[in-house]
Amino acid sequence: MCLNVNPGRPGGAYGYVDMGGWIGGQAEYVMVPYADFNLLKFPDKAQAMEKIQDLTCLTDILPTGYHGCINAGVTTGSTVLISGAGPVGLAAAASAKLLGAAVVIVSDFNKDRLAHAASFGCETIDLSRGGTIGEQIEQILKVPEVDCTVDCVGFEAKQKGGEEQPATVLNQLMAVTRAAGRIGIPGLYVTADPGAKDKAAREGSLSLQFGLGWAKSHAFFTGQTPVLRYNRGLMMAILHDRIKIAKAVNTTVITLDAAPQGYADFDKGVARKFVIDPHGSLKKTA
């Protein structure tokens, strides 16, 4: 975890409060701190431009989903539950496939997102249907548990009625992760949520059924993704057609001017990841 890029605390990010004051990555040009150390060089520019929508995903979304799976212990033959079918969840699902998982199950309330997950070979759980998640897993796998779970939702988790309850996903995942299983948590949990309804949530406290996880010897892995640990390998997987990440997260190229509309669509839950192309360079290649 980088201790240098943010004087306030470990780790940094573009365009986030408290993350080092790096003005957002959605701009014509971006300043790269420690660029001699941070950048990944593509072996061949022409080859890279052919897959540039996929390679763009190396900046954040693909390593984040992949890190969630690595932390969850996804490997050859694993059964995996990915909670949330937003871009992180879809990237995690594609990563789980790449890691050799036997069955990848994605859960969400949003039918469009689930349909998209199904389009590249995932099983799906529609959370708006009746029954527990364990029961729905059992219909797919014959057993009510999976080897590995990944929380791609975070503190904005909602209960069935639509009410926000930030501990919902973690509590569900403890219920369905097998004994000695691991829970990868790329989904963001915040130190404070000023707009939350109740005092506990405002202070960033979750009401976690930690004893359930303890009884099953679970391990929990949180935090920002160490992108450098993964990006060369993932680049190679993209360049050699081992993962179709742009298709998995459903990228669409837009101009910089269309970014506000993109944010508005994203907030409505559209199953799409926007790639902003300030100078129209992708249009020429695509």
Q: Which residues would be at the binding site for a copy of itself (CB under 8 A)?
A: 1, 3, 9-11, 37, 43-44, 66, 71, 75-79, 98-103, 142, 155, 170, 179-180, 185, 188-193, 200, 203-224, 230, 232-237, 239-240, 242
- Nearer residue to a copy of itself within complex by CB, 25 or 121: 121
- Nearer residue to a copy of itself within complex by CB, 44 or 267: 44
The least CB distance from residue 164 to a copy of itself, in Å, is 14
- Nearer residue to a copy of itself within complex by CB, 50 or 255: 50
The least CB distance from residue 194 to a copy of itself, in Å, is 12
Whether residue 78 contacts residue 96, with contact meaning beta carbons closer than 8 Å, is answered with: yes
- Nearer residue to a copy of itself within complex by CB, 214 or 263: 214
CA–CA distance, 110 with 102 (Å, rounded to integer): 24
Does residue 67 come out as left (phi exceeding 0), alpha (psi in the -120 to 50 range) or beta? alpha
The least CB distance from residue 236 to a copy of itself, in Å, is 3
Q: Which amino acid is at 65?
A: G
Q: Report, in angstroms and rounded to the nearest whole number, the Rg of the chain calculated over CA atoms.
A: 19
The DSSP symbol for 240 reads T
CA–CA distance, 77 with 216 (Å, rounded to integer): 21
- Indicate the Cα dihedral angle 131, 136, 139, 142, nearest 10°: -110
Q: Which tokens in the block code for residue 183?
A: 């829970």
CA–CA distance, 5 with 10 (Å, rounded to integer): 8
The least CB distance from residue 182 to a copy of itself, in Å, is 9
The least CB distance from residue 52 to a copy of itself, in Å, is 18
- Nearer residue to a copy of itself within complex by CB, 193 or 277: 193
